Structure 1
Amino acid sequence: MTYLNFLGHSLIAKHGLYSKIALFSHYAHGELLDVGCGTKPYLPLFEQRVKHYTGLDFSKTAGKRIDHADVVGDATKLPFRVSTFDTILSTEVIEHIPEPAKALSEMYRVLRPGGYLILSAPLFWPLHEEPHDFYRYTKFGLNYLLKSAGFSIKETGDTTGFFETVGQLFAYGLYLKYGQNSGTIIRKVIILGCIFIQTFFILLGLIFGKFGDSLSTVIVARKLKTNRL
Structure 2
Amino acid sequence: MSPLRLEGGKLVANDSGSERVFEYRMIDGVPILIDFEQSVFTESEITCRKAGSAIVRPEYTGLQRSLKRMVSPAKSGTRVNILNLVRHLENNDGPSKVLIIGGGSVGNGLEPVYNHPRLEVYSFDVYVTPYVQFVADAHRIPLPAETFDCVIVQAVLEHVLQPSEVVAEIWRVLKPSGLVYAETPFMQQVHEGAFDFTRFTESGHRYLFRQFERLDSGANGGPGIQFMWAVDYLARGLFRSRKVGKMAKLACFWAQYLDHLIPAPYAEDGASGVFFYGRKTQRVFSPPEIIAHYRGAQATRR
Class of the TM-score when normalised by the shorter of the 2 chains: 0.7 to 0.9
The whole-number CA distance in structure 2 between the counterparts of 1:87 and 1:54 is: 10
State which of 109, 114, 125 in structure 2 corresponds to 1:57: 125
The whole-number CA distance in structure 2 between the counterparts of 1:27 and 1:129 is: 28
Which position in structure 2 is the counterpart of 1:93?
156
How is 1:215-226 mapped onto 2 (pairs within 5 angstroms)? 215-224=272-281
Q: Is the 8 A contact 2:151 2:174 kept in 1?
A: yes
In the alignment, structure 2 segments of 5+ residues that lack a partner are: 1-64, 90-95, 285-302
Over 3 Å counting, the alpha-carbon distance change for 1:176 and 1:47 in structure 2 is farther
The whole-number CA distance in structure 2 between the counterparts of 1:39 and 1:132 is: 17
SS in 2 for 1:68: coil
Which has the larger share of helix?
1
The structure with the largest alpha-carbon Rg is 2
Deviation at 1:195, TM superposition (A): 2.3
Amino acid of the structure 2 residue aligned with 1:139 = E
SS in 2 for 1:131: helix
SS in 2 for 1:15: coil
In the alignment, structure 1 segments of 5+ residues that lack a partner are: 60-64
State which of 134, 142, 146 in structure 2 corresponds to 1:83: 146
State which of 94, 109, 113 in structure 2 corresponds to 1:46: 113
Which position in structure 2 is the counterpart of 1:23?
80
The whole-number CA distance in structure 2 between the counterparts of 1:177 and 1:33 is: 41
Over 3 Å counting, the alpha-carbon distance change for 1:203 and 1:215 in structure 2 is closer
Amino acid of the structure 2 residue aligned with 1:134 = F
Over 3 Å counting, the alpha-carbon distance change for 1:6 and 1:142 in structure 2 is farther
Which position in structure 2 is the counterpart of 1:35?
101
Q: How many residues are matched?
A: 206
The answer to which structure, 1 or 2, has the higher relative contact order (CA under 8 A, 6+ apart) is 1
Which position in structure 2 is the counterpart of 1:171?
232
Counting aligned pairs with the same residue, the percent is: 20
| Between 132-141 and 49-58, the greater mean CA deviation after superposition | 49-58
Q: Is the 8 A contact 2:125 2:137 kept in 1?
A: yes
Amino acid of the structure 1 residue aligned with 2:106 = K
Deviations for 1:85-106, whole angstroms, at most 9, x for unmatched residues?
1111001101111111111111
Over 3 Å counting, the alpha-carbon distance change for 1:220 and 1:203 in structure 2 is closer
Q: Is the 8 A contact 2:113 2:119 kept in 1?
A: no
